[in-house]
Structure 1
Amino acid sequence: MLVESWQISEFAEKVGKHFTTTDSWFKKLEERRIHYINRVESGEKIYNQDDLKIGLFIKEYRDKKYTIDSIFDLLQHQEEINLRPFPEDFDSKDTKITDEAQINKLKTEIIASMKEVVATQIEEERKNRVNDLILQRKIVSVLEGEASKEWSKLPESERMMKVGLFRKGENTEKRNEFIKKYVDERYEERIKDTIIDIKRIEG
């Protein structure tokens, strides 16, 4: 039967503490010769259910404001917890380089993951901004079309102006002002209504 095991990042998640805190607890356990952490051939530490019981025990009592020293004392008197003995050739000093390399590797992976998340968020925000601009432009275009129709319904006396002695032409300045006012008065409400419709469709 295979024994489930985890690297420090996965293990820390199961304990419910940051990986640096969890790693610090177990380093101290080894430094004080209380509990040994299994390693693979490369020297990287791996944690199993026995270690998880210890991690959860430490977390429980740290949450109760016990000092780490008092928790370690309690830990050594718990019959249901298996404290792993140390190999004869174990030297805690020799593990520090491996531990630091493991932590540095983990930090590098976390930083890379964070950069990837940030890059994804930036791209998503950029797409959202572009979509917002497209939506705004469409709404303005629709409102301008409506305004043009309303303008055409006005009496000729309001739309036309004398051009020279015998001709009349459209008062473009007045027309532009009419359309601008029409759009300005309805734009905000039309945006809100459109967003509500989009959410209703997506939901």
Structure 2
Amino acid sequence: METFWQIREFSKVIGKHHNTVDGWFKQMEERRLHYINRAGHEKVYDELDLQIARYIYEWREKGWSLEGIFGQLAEHCELRPFPKDYDLAAQLQAPSIDVIKNQLVQEMRTAFEEVAAAQLKELERMYEQWTVPELPLHPLPLYPSRLELRKQRLADVITRKRIEIQLEQTALHLWSTKPASERLRRVGLFRKEENREMRELFVKSYVNKYFADRVRDELDWMELHWPEESAEQQEIH
């Protein structure tokens, strides 16, 4: 029976972060080297994708650049052709606001659950260390400062990455709507291809221009939707 993975489970099999693996396959699709199957609007990865990812991982560990790996990929791996009706511009369109919010909430919920589990284990360890025969137990701190800092750093990383991804997707969509005279460059006498250097410059400029504003918007949204701490909790901090 054939096995399929979503990106997070797929990246764990490979042993790399899911953002890194996702970036490999996005670049391959942009270069029209290899197509990733979809289930609805969700990318799914199979054994063929796993062979390709392991090949990329092996040569990245040897110090090769992605450009060099992609250049020889077709000689060593089977590559999946693109469907006839595949539209790259449509794939680069920014998702709806509701989809972005749902993804953000889901990732933050998962991250906080992981932090909560780590915090519980730490409290159990501290409880065992502080249990002394014939002596009263020491009061346990509700929020050890180290764990609080870990939780804050994790939330900051998730928020920053989500904002960068949203801005990049929006920039790519805007780029795809530009006239062909701005997006394409001539290669030889009769062929044109997308100007990747100009596209990357456009995306980076867009992200740098709007990043600070989006961070402020994100903080305002969090203050509006997250309940304030009670006076008792503030005294504990």
TM (normalized to structure 1)?
Answer: 0.56
Name the residue aligned to 1:4.
3
Kindly indicate whether residue 49 of structure 2 is the aligned counterpart of residue 72 of structure 1. no
Stretch deviating more after TM superposition (122-131 or 99-108):
99-108
Deviation sequence 1:154-194 (CA, Å, 0-9, x none):
xxxxxxxxxxxxxxxxxxxxxxxxxxxxxxxxxxxxxxxxx
Stretch deviating more after TM superposition (114-123 or 93-102):
93-102
Question: For the Cα contact (< 8 Å) 1:5–1:49, is it kept in 2?
Answer: yes
Name the residue aligned to 1:182.
none
Cα offset for 1:110?
4.4
Deviation sequence 1:86-124 (CA, Å, 0-9, x none):
011111222234789999866654432331132233344
Name the residue aligned to 1:85.
81
Question: For the Cα contact (< 8 Å) 1:15–1:56, is it kept in 2?
Answer: yes
Deviation sequence 1:114-158 (CA, Å, 0-9, x none):
31132233344445555666x347247xxxxxxxxxxxxxxxxxx
Cα RMSD (Å):
3.0
Q: Distance in 2 between matches of 1:128 and 1:25?
A: 40
Cα offset for 1:4?
0.6
Larger radius of gyration: 1
Name the residue aligned to 1:30.
29
**Which stretches of structure 1, 4 residues or more, deviate above 6 A after TM superposition?**
98-107
Query: Aligned match of 1:121 in 98, 101, 118?
Result: 118
Question: 3-state SS of the aligned residue for 1:47?
Answer: coil
Question: For the Cα contact (< 8 Å) 1:15–1:52, is it kept in 2?
Answer: yes
Residue type matched to 1:90 in 2? Y
Kindly indicate whether residue 121 of structure 2 is the aligned counterpart of residue 112 of structure 1. no
Q: Distance in 1 between matches of 2:102 and 2:67?
A: 29
Name the residue aligned to 2:49.
51
Question: For the Cα contact (< 8 Å) 1:44–1:99, is it kept in 2?
Answer: no
Cα offset for 1:72?
0.5
Question: For the Cα contact (< 8 Å) 1:44–1:98, is it kept in 2?
Answer: no
Question: 3-state SS of the aligned residue for 2:75?
Answer: coil
Residue type matched to 1:56 in 2? R
Question: For the Cα contact (< 8 Å) 1:9–1:106, is it kept in 2?
Answer: no
Residue type matched to 2:38 in 1? R
Q: Distance in 1 between matches of 2:18 and 2:115?
A: 21
Change (3 A) 1:138 1:120: farther
Map 1:92-107 to 2 at 5 A.
92-97=88-93
Question: For the Cα contact (< 8 Å) 1:12–1:19, is it kept in 2?
Answer: yes
TM (normalized to structure 2)?
Answer: 0.49
Change (3 A) 1:109 1:76: same
Cα offset for 1:28?
0.6
Deviation sequence 1:28-64 (CA, Å, 0-9, x none):
1000010000001x21100000000000011111111
